[in-house]
């Protein structure tokens, strides 16, 4: 497969999904999101994670707050009180230890969705940990995460009527040492399956979400990158046990 043009990787928007004119885009220091006002949570949250970030020592915050940069207003902590759901990070706090501002902004409620605790603390946490292992191996990952938001019929929590997703997705593109990508669609419920059980090509995540991921990929590799995946490319020694 041909190498990635280094000029593309210097473009700060390289890892973002396709942005449509009506999208409500919010750009923070360490991540960018597309916000759904109807659901009071993100359609997607995109960020770049580098090997050097793994050395961060910033203390984890515990202060969730509304996002001051969402014009239509994000959810509030009270929406989650007694709801039975965790405030599930899309861009994980553990990936933001490299910077104080990054950590603070990861606790904005625009970066959060209602998540079953046993999913959040189980299979989802295992997948987030695996991404950090992959970054250690590959030096840089472009990551997009979010809920699968149906047109209607999902339960809501709180006065802001925050949608409870039935599934969450994560897509990862790694340009080094050779271009590869993988997607996951994980149920928002307890389970005993490994996250590997939910691995899929990015094209499947695109079909389920309607989102065009990594539109700046060179056309001569985009089809293969999005339609194919090989778990052996990702099963590093440290993540294989999952």
Q: Which residues are catalytic?
A: 89
Contact (CB, 8 A) for 171 and 108: no
Q: On the CB side of 127, how many CA atoms lie within 13 Å of its CA?
A: 30
Q: On the CB side of 237, how many CA atoms lie within 13 Å of its CA?
A: 2
Contact (CB, 8 A) for 186 and 126: no
180-187 β-sheet, strand order: 24-27, 32-36, 41-50, 140-148, 167-174, 180-187, 199-200
CA-nearest of 242, 234, 226 to 186 is 242
């Amino acid at each position: 497969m041909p190498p990635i043009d280094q000029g593309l990787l210097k473009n700060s928007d390289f890892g973002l999904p396709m942005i449509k004119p009506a999208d409500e885009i919010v750009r923070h220091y360490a991540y960018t999101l597309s916000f759904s006002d109807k659901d009071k949570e993100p359609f997607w949250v995109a960020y770049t994670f580098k090997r050097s970030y793994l050395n961060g020592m910033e203390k984890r915050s515990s202060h969730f707050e509304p996002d001051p940069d969402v014009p239509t207003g994000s959810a509030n902590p009270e929406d989650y009180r007694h709801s039975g759901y965790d405030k599930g990070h899309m861009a994980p706090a553990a990936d933001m230890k490299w910077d104080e501002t990054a950590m603070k902004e990861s606790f904005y409620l625009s970066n959060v969705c209602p998540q079953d605790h046993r999913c959040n603390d189980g299979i989802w946490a295992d997948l987030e940990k695996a991404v950090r292992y992959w970054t250690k191996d590959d030096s840089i990952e472009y990551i997009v995460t979010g809920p699968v938001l149906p047109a209607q019929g999902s339960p809501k929590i709180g006065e802001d009527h925050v949608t409870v997703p039935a599934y969450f997705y994560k897509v990862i593109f790694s340009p080094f040492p050779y271009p590869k990508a993988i997607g996951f669609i994980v149920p928002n419920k307890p389970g005993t399956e490994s996250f590997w059980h939910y691995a899929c090509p990015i094209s499947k995540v695109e079909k389920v979400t309607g989102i065009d991921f990594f539109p700046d990929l060179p056309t001569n590799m985009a089809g293969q990158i999005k339609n194919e995946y090989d778990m052996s490319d990702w099963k590093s020694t440290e993540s294989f046990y999952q």
